[in-house]
Amino acid sequence: MSRDPIDAVRARIAALKRHSLVSLPTPLERAERLGQSLRIDLLIKRDDLMGLGAGGNKLRKLEFIVGKALDEGYDTLLTTGGIQSNHARQTAAAAARQGLACELHLRGRSPDNLTGNVLLSSILGAELHYHEDADYAEIDRRMAARAEILSTQGRRALVIPLGGGTAEGTVGYVLAVAEIMRQISDGGAPDLFVVAGGTGSTAAGLSLGTQLFSPGTSVLAVSASWKKDVLSGEIARHRRAAAELLGIEDKAAVWVDDSFVGPGYSQVSEAGRTALLTLARSDGILLDTTYTAKAMSGLIALVRAGRIAPDAKVVFWHTGGTPELFTRTTYELAI
C-alpha cells in the first residue's frame, strides 16, 4: 500500500535539521475594519510578531538554515542585503541566540548614523561590512573569499544567500501553510494569500504549501522590487529547489504583480503610504514602507478593480519589516 504523500513529505521535513528560534504559531488576526470597508474577509498572519530580534519572515527560513549550520559545526554566519535589510537583522538575532558570530556584508555606503534595521543589527552584535561599489554577485564572491580567510583562522563560516533563499529556508514557508490551516480549520480555506515579494522564496514556500495543504488557495506575490518576469523566475527556481528537497512534483503557480513598486525598491510609493496609514488607522496594525505597505496597496487596488472577488477570504501575510519605519520622516510619509 502506498504511503499518504503528505506523510511522506512530513517525514522528509522531519529529517531536516531545524533549530527553534520562534514561538509558533504566530497570531492570525481578522482586520475587521479594513476588511469591512473592502467588503472582503481580511485575515492578517502576524509573522511580524515573532519574539526574536523584532521578528519577520526570515526567521522561519533561518530555523532551518541555523539548524543545518549547528549540525555541520559552523561557528559564523555571513549574509548580505541592503543597508536596511530585515534579513540581515534577523540573521544577526539568530546568530546571537545561538552564540554564533555574524558578519553582515551590506550593499551600499556606510551610513553616517545607524538607524532602523542596521542599528538593531549592530545592537545584536553583528560585524558590519559595507560594499558601496559592488552588486550582489560581487558581494557573494567577496563573502566566499572572506569565508576562506576565516577558515585559515580555524573558523567555519556559512554563507547564507540574499533573503535566506535556500531550499531548506523555503520549506519554512511550506510549513507555515500547514500552521495557518490548523488555525483556521473551523472556517474553511482562504481563497487567496497575499504576500510581498522580494527574492521570492517566501512566495515559493507559500505556493508549495498550498499545493500540499490547501489546494484551493491562490497565492499573489506583490513585488517590492523586481519586474514580473524576474520575480516569477526566481519564485519558480526556489519552488523547484524546495520541491526536489521534499520529493514532490512542483505543480504550484503564483500570481505575480509588479505594478506596486512605485518609484523603486525601498522608496515610499504613494499607494503604499496610503495603505500604511489606512491599516494603521483602521485596525492599529503597522506595516513597513518597503515591502508590506506595497503588498497591501496591491491588495486594496486589486479588490477595488474587481480582480479579487467581493466576499473573498484573503490572508495577508505580514512579513515584518517595521524597524525600517524608524528611518522615515514625516515629510516622506506626508503626515
Ligand X SMILES: Cc1ncc(COP(=O)(O)O)c(C=O)c1O
> Nearest residue to ligand X, using CB?
198
Say if residue 161 is preceded by a cis peptide, omega within 30 of 0: no
Amino acid at 223: S
Q: Which of 91, 126, 288, 298 contacts ligand X by CB under 6 A? A: 288
In which order are the strands placed within the sheet that holds 101-107?
127-131, 101-107, 76-82, 157-160
Number of residues in contact with ligand X under rule CB under 6 A: 19
Quick check: 319 binds ligand X (CB under 6 A)?
A: yes
Residue among 20, 23, 37, 85 flagged as catalytic? 85
**Beta bridge pairs of residue 194:** 220, 316
- CA-CA distance, 177 to 182, in Å (whole number)? 9
Write the interaction track for ligand X spanning residues 50-69; mark x where CB under 6 A is met and - where it is not.
------xx------------
225 is catalytic: no
Question: What DSSP letter does each residue of 267-313 carry, written as one string?
Answer: SPPHHHHHHHHHHHHHH-----TTTHHHHHHHHHHHHHTTSS-TT-E
Quick check: 87 binds ligand X (CB under 6 A)?
A: yes
Helix (H) or strand (E) holding 158: strand 157-160
Span from 4-12, 107-115, 174-182, 201-209 in contact with ligand X (CB under 6 A): 201-209
Amino acid at 66: V
Quick check: 297 binds ligand X (CB under 6 A)?
A: no
Q: Which of 82, 200, 262, 272 contacts ligand X by CB under 6 A? A: 200
In this complex, which beta carbon is closest to ligand X, that of residue 35 or of residue 320?
320
Q: How far is the CB of 242 from ligand X (least distance, A)?
A: 12
Quick check: 299 binds ligand X (CB under 6 A)?
A: no
Copy the grid coordinates of residue 17. Answer: 535539521
In this complex, which beta carbon is closest to ligand X, that of residue 254 or of residue 300?
254
φ/ψ of residue 309, rounded to 5: -65, 145
Residues annotated as catalytic are: 85
The contact set with ligand X (CB under 6 A) reads 56-57, 86-87, 163, 196-203, 288, 291-292, 319-321
